[in-house]
Structure 1
Amino acid sequence: MEQQPNQPSPENIMKIGTGFWASKILLTAVSFQLFTRLAEKKTMKANDIKNILGLKCTDRNVYDFLDALTIFGFLKREGILDTAIYSNSLDTDTFLDKNKPSYIGGILEMMNNRLYTFWGSLGEGLLTGLPQNEIKKSEDFFGLIYSDPEKLKGFINAMSGIQMGNFMAFAQKFDFTQYKTLIDVGGSAGLLSLMVARHNAHMRCTSFDLPPVEPVANATIQQFGLSDQVKTASGNFFTMPIPNADVVVMGNILHDWDEENKISLMKKAYDALPANGAFVAIENIIDSERKQNVFGMMMSLNMLIETGTGFDYTFADFNRWANIAGFKSTSIIPLTGPSSAAIAYK
């Protein structure tokens, strides 16, 4: 029977309520490196996938797993069941093949290995206002990763993956013609600086982060062959001044902190800029009516899980903080998906 307009339906309730099923299917495929294996072979039958991944479940379970990924648009399929031949979709072949520089799966690996479990305690986080990550076991997550080169590399890959599309868009959409230098505060692997340099030959960029990050960033810079335009600098942006530049960028930095620290960081950016310089925050800026950017609101809740006091924000929030910090005007540039570049001019 066709549903009549304005009649109640449980469809969206069930779609969202079972959303973690879909999430775990994708995260599991990434953890198995399924898309990387398929990129190597181009096409594979279900039984070959079962064998190469070492799956011990029934054939029917394998079909369900692969066909769900097909319905979601992550795989392509010709044939059905035992005659089916699978291959990557354009998106997964581009972004989830670990052998390609465009790989963004690092953030999905971190979601599977860490955040999937921690988000099970969202209710506790809302009730207590406390972080729900490693700190519950008296473990300092950032201390753990910065003391272990392999964990640090995985974390950097995760942070790079979630922002790569935004960095590419920003490098091409922002007008750099009146600027010569840029510093990316909390620059991680240096990808934002590299994207800006690649698309703006006159720019000289610096990726600024803690000392243990510098070797990773330098390796990335060498990989891109842009060492003449992109350099690294080490330091703590809370305990020392931000180095001077025409453009100061923070990508997914402000949302880690409470309002007081957000304003403090924006004031430090202001002090690092010349007259008419630009401060840029690249984040999941929530729409002012709080009706559209649901990813921004989910990321804000993720900051509760990770930090307890951090949160994502609207452009109106950014404008208020920019005014307090002393900036004369602001603008916003939509980037990819739910992300934008909020800009404050000195």
Structure 2
Amino acid sequence: MGMTVDDTTGTAGIMELAQGFWASRALLSAVELDLFATLAEGPLTGEALRDRLGLHPRAAADFLDSLVGLGLLRRDGDEYRNGGAAARHLAADGPGSLTGRLRLLAWRYRIWGDLTSLLRTGDQQAHRGGQDFQRFYGDQDALRRFMAAMDANNAEIGPALADALDWSGHTSFVDVGGARGNLAADLVRAHPHLRAGCLDLPPVQPLFDEHMERLGLTGKVDFHPADFFADPLPETEVMVFGHVLHDWDDEARVRLLRRAHDALPEGGRVVVYDALVGDGRDEPANLLRSLNMRLVTPGGSEYTPRECRAWLAAAGFEDVTVAPLVGVDSVVVARKAKG
């Protein structure tokens, strides 16, 4: 994630690290302004872009030409068009699109401005200015954007998880905290013998229904409207907790895993994936992701394999395995003992 420094790094390298947010903020602003979606309709001059996007002329040329320099746009004479990467991943929502994830990062960017406050108080910062996860569930449009970002986050995970585990010995699974069911859809398409389920809060169900219809999977994945801390967990052979444990503190993690253990049959399995921090705690990418979780949640963070093994043991699971999954994520699998 970005550059790092070592004992030989000079002032220029340190300044490059310090100023890295300039480029990221330019990209996020371009997404917020729908610049790439606008250029997907065809090339436009700088003046036309200013008119379409409502840009002030003082900064517009530097902004657009900076994006050219970053490789996100191309400039032919007076006209701008999307570069290849932007055309593939930033011009519209859909498979392969990063737009939802980047809109979420734009929200998180503002929160990262309060990192010093987190370090001094230990308090989450997402609530500052009314920014917290609860607002997503009270606003259907915000919830739809949030769910799109969650889909983008697990776009590679579903196929990877379908291949990483032997699903032939199981007949059912539930993705707990599964949002619109994107992961469940990937798993049931790869393994159609599975009875698939997705559990999330009741306000998500209309978006789940829309998404399943769009994917052509209506009736193939069951939605379970529930609070996974308060309501009974459904009967199933495998429970998946993807990007869920990192939202909560240690006590809540163990409590949730115990609830899963109680609900699973003997021999049932729990599957956990998150951006695990190495036991040596010397990998900056996922340590920074852990700081991000501390900024946006009251008790969450990323965690080490050793910690996860301890929570699973405390919940009653055994035969714990840990393996890389895809990208920054690792997968942890454990079994409920028989008899």
Question: TM-score, structure 2 length as denominator?
Answer: 0.88
Verify the 8 A CA contact 2:157 2:325 in the aligned structure 1. yes
- Give the structure 1 partner of residue 63 of structure 2: 65
Gapped regions of structure 1 (runs ≥ 5): none
Q: 1:119 aligns with which of 90, 112, 124?
A: 112
Give, in angstroms, the shift of residue 318 of structure 1: 1.1
- Measure, in 2, the Cα distance between the counterparts of 1:8 and 1:129: 31
Alpha carbons of 1:8 and 1:239: their partners in 2 closer, same or farther (altered >3 Å)?
closer
Tell me, what secondary structure is at the counterpart of 1:40?
A: coil
Please state if 1:285 is matched with 2:279.
no
* Letter paired with 2:12: E
More displaced, 143-152 or 13-22?
143-152
8 Å CA contact retained: 2:90, 2:98: yes
CA contact (8 A) 2:132 2:296 kept: no
1:315 to 305, 310, 314: 305
Gap change, CA 1:25 and 1:242, over 3 Å in 2: same
- What is the Cα deviation at residue 63 of structure 1? 4.8
C-alpha displacement of 1:190: 0.8
Residue type of the partner of 2:30? A
Cα distance in 2 for partners of 1:6, 1:144 equals 44
Counterpart residue identity of residue 65, structure 1:
F
1:86 corresponds to which of 81, 84, 93? 81
The structural deviation recorded for 1:8 is 4.1
User: 1-side partners of 2:311 and 2:290: how far apart?
Assistant: 18
Partner of 2:334: 344
Give CA-to-partner distance per residue, 1:229-275, whole Å, 9 cap, x none: 21111111001232121211112110111111111111122222223
User: 1:26 maps to what in 2?
Assistant: 27
Query: Aligned partners of 1:109, 1:210: CA distance in 2, in Å?
Result: 22
Could you say which residue in structure 1 is the equivalent of 2:140?
Answer: 149
Asked if structure 1 preserves the Cα contact closer than 8 Å seen for 2:93 and 2:100, the reply is no
SS in structure 1 opposite 2:41? helix
Map residues 325-340 of structure 1 onto 2, 5 A cutoff: 325-340=315-330
CA contact (8 A) 1:203 1:229 kept: no
Which residue is 1:305 aligned to? 295
Which residue type is aligned with residue 19 of structure 2?
Answer: T
What's 1:52 paired with? 52
- The structural deviation recorded for 1:194 is 0.8
SS at match of 1:205: strand
Offset, 1:289: 1.7
Distance in structure 1 (CA, Å) of the matches to 2:251 and 2:159: 30
Q: Judging changes above 3 Å, is the alpha-carbon distance between structure 1 residues 55 and 208 closer, same or farther for their aligned structure 2 residues?
A: same
**In structure 2, do the counterparts of structure 1 residues 101 and 10 end up closer, same or farther at CA, with 3 Å as the change threshold?**
same
Structure 2 unmatched runs, 5+: 1-5
- 1:138-177 equivalent positions in 2, closer than 5 A: 139=130, 141-177=132-168
Q: Is the 8 A contact 2:93 2:99 kept in 1?
A: no
The 1:290–1:107 alpha-carbon spacing in structure 2 relative to 1, beyond 3 Å, is: same
Q: Structure 1 174/48 Cα, relative in aligned 2: closer, same or farther at 3 Å?
A: farther
Which of 126, 138, 142 is matched with 1:133 structurally? 126
Q: Distance in 2 between matches of 1:47 and 1:142?
A: 38
Match of 1:96 among 90, 98, 103: 90
**CA drift at 1:25:** 0.8
TM superposition shift of 1:216: 0.6
Deviation at 1:45, TM superposition (A): 4.8
The Cα shift of 1:141 comes to 3.2
- 1:344 CA displacement: 1.8
Go from structure 1 to structure 2 and tell me whether the alpha carbon gap of 1:50 and 1:335 turns closer, same or farther (over 3 Å shift). Answer: farther
Q: Is the 8 A contact 1:182 1:205 kept in 2?
A: yes
Q: 1:167 to 1:66 in 2, by over 3 A?
A: farther
Find the aligned partners of 1:86 and 1:140 in 2 and give their Cα distance.
34
Q: 1:183 aligns with which of 174, 194, 212?
A: 174
Match of 2:138, as an amino acid?
S
5 Å matches for 1:199-278?
Answer: 199-278=190-269
CA contact 2:68–2:75 (8 Å) conserved in 1: no
Q: Indicate which of 76, 87, 99 corresponds to 1:105.
A: 99
Deviation at 1:150, TM superposition (A): 1.6
Output the amino acid matched with 1:15. E
- Please say which of residues 143-152 and 304-313 is displaced more in the overlay: 143-152
Q: Alpha carbons of 1:127 and 1:223: their partners in 2 closer, same or farther (altered >3 Å)?
A: same
> Structure 1 95/55 Cα, relative in aligned 2: closer, same or farther at 3 Å?
same
Higher mean C-alpha displacement, 139-148 vs 243-252: 139-148
